[in-house]
C-alpha cells in the first residue's frame, strides 16, 4: 500500500474546497551550478513539489484549522534552510 502525498492527505482530511495555501514560491538558496542547486532541481522534478513544507488553512468539520505538512518525496521532507 502506498502512502498518500501531502496534497492527498490535506484533500482527504479537510472539508471539500476549504484549503487555502499560505505558501509562496520559495527563494532559491543555492548558488547556480552548485551541487545543491542540482539536488533541488532533481527533487522538484521527481516529486512535483517545490519544497518539503506545505502550509495553509482550511476547515475540519466546519472549524478553521492551520495545517503544516511535510512532503517526504521532496528530499525526504528535510528543511535545508530556515
Domain extent listing, the chain? 6-77
Give tens-digit pLDDT for 11-58.
999 999 999 999 887 776 667 777 877 888 888 888 878 777 889 999
- Rounded-to-integer distance, Cα 6 and Cα 57, Å: 13
Site of grid cell 502525498: 5
Handedness of CA 47, 49, 54, 58 (dihedral sign): negative
- Report DSSP state, residue 7: H
pTM score: 0.69
Amino acid at each position: 500500500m502506498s502512502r498518500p502525498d501531502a496534497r492527498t492527505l490535506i484533500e482527504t482530511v479537510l472539508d471539500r474546497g476549504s484549503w487555502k495555501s499560505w505558501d509562496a514560491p520559495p527563494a532559491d538558496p543555492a548558488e547556480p551550478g552548485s551541487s545543491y542547486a542540482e539536488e533541488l532541481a532533481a527533487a522538484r522534478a521527481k516529486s512535483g513539489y517545490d519544497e518539503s513544507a506545505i502550509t495553509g488553512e482550511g476547515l475540519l468539520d466546519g472549524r478553521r484549522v492551520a495545517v503544516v505538512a511535510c512532503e517526504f518525496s521532496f528530499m525526504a521532507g528535510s528543511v535545508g534552510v530556515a
